[in-house]
Amino acid sequence: MTLIWGRTNSSNVMKLLWFCAEAGIPYERRDAGGTFGLVGDDAYKAMNPMSLVPVLQEADGWALWESNTILRYLAAVQAGTAAALYPAEPRRRAGIERWMDWQLAHLTPPMTTIFFTHVRIPEAERDWPATTAALEKATGLWRLLDRQLAGRQHVEGDFSLADIAIGIFVHRWFALPVERPELAHLRAWYDRLLARPHYSRIVAVPMS
């Protein structure tokens, strides 16, 4: 049985739970990180020296960390729906991986700043200049994705790992109390994700 370590309100854990639900992969989940602790324990650090969530642990004890790497691994070793989300054809796969890397390198930093400011940092401790700069950066990135989505149902045409990696953050973008431009293609994509039962159940939940 696949074991996923991590709390359900972590964006990176949500990716794995949503992927497994879409692909029909059975798993067991154990709370870790945040108020649940464990990530600083020696046993956990032996699985993930970064002391972060999630961690994928397989029945033989083999463990893997970094959420997008775990997504790629699971899609590569599974058949059916999972494999379809990560096609083997090199150019299609590269297109998907490009957007997964874009999420990590470009989208995550400003979205994390905005999220923490409005959800996890006490008001008296909030860094509003940093948040304003992050909002400007994130807005530009979402505009870029809006252009990518013109004429497409999903980020790379068909529903794929790119949608799972970025879809976590688009819920936060529309749920956070920030000023947003009207981005019709992005909003339509978000609405399509909301129509997916697993997304609504796992991702589109109150932020904490």
Asked whether residue 107 is domain-assigned, the answer is yes
The answer to whether residues 104 and 73 belong to one domain is: no
- From 34, 67, 84, the end of a domain falls on 84
The answer to whether residues 126 and 58 belong to one domain is: no
The answer to whether residues 22 and 102 belong to one domain is: no
* Residues contacting residue 63 through CB under 8 Å, at least 6 positions apart: 47, 48, 55, 56, 57
Specify the pLDDT at position 169: 98
The answer to whether residues 170 and 94 belong to one domain is: yes
Distance CA 4, CA 58 (A): 9
Specify the pLDDT at position 1: 84
The answer to whether residues 36 and 130 belong to one domain is: no
Domain span at 154? 90-202
Distance CA 122, CA 44 (A): 29
CB 4 within 8 A of CB 28: yes
- From 32, 61, 84, the end of a domain falls on 84
Asked whether residue 72 is domain-assigned, the answer is yes
CB 160 within 8 A of CB 192: no
Specify the pLDDT at position 187: 98
* pLDDT lower than 50: segments of the chain: none
- From 53, 84, 115, the end of a domain falls on 84
Asked whether residue 208 is domain-assigned, the answer is no
Specify the pLDDT at position 62: 98
The number of distinct structural domains making up the chain is 2
pTM: 0.96
Specify the pLDDT at position 105: 98
Specify the pLDDT at position 16: 98
Asked whether residue 207 is domain-assigned, the answer is no
The answer to whether residues 126 and 39 belong to one domain is: no
Specify the pLDDT at position 171: 98
147-188 confidence digits (pLDDT tens): 999 999 999 999 999 999 999 999 999 999 999 999 999 999
The answer to whether residues 134 and 40 belong to one domain is: no
Specify the pLDDT at position 79: 87
Find where tokens 């609504």 sit: 200
Asked whether residue 159 is domain-assigned, the answer is yes
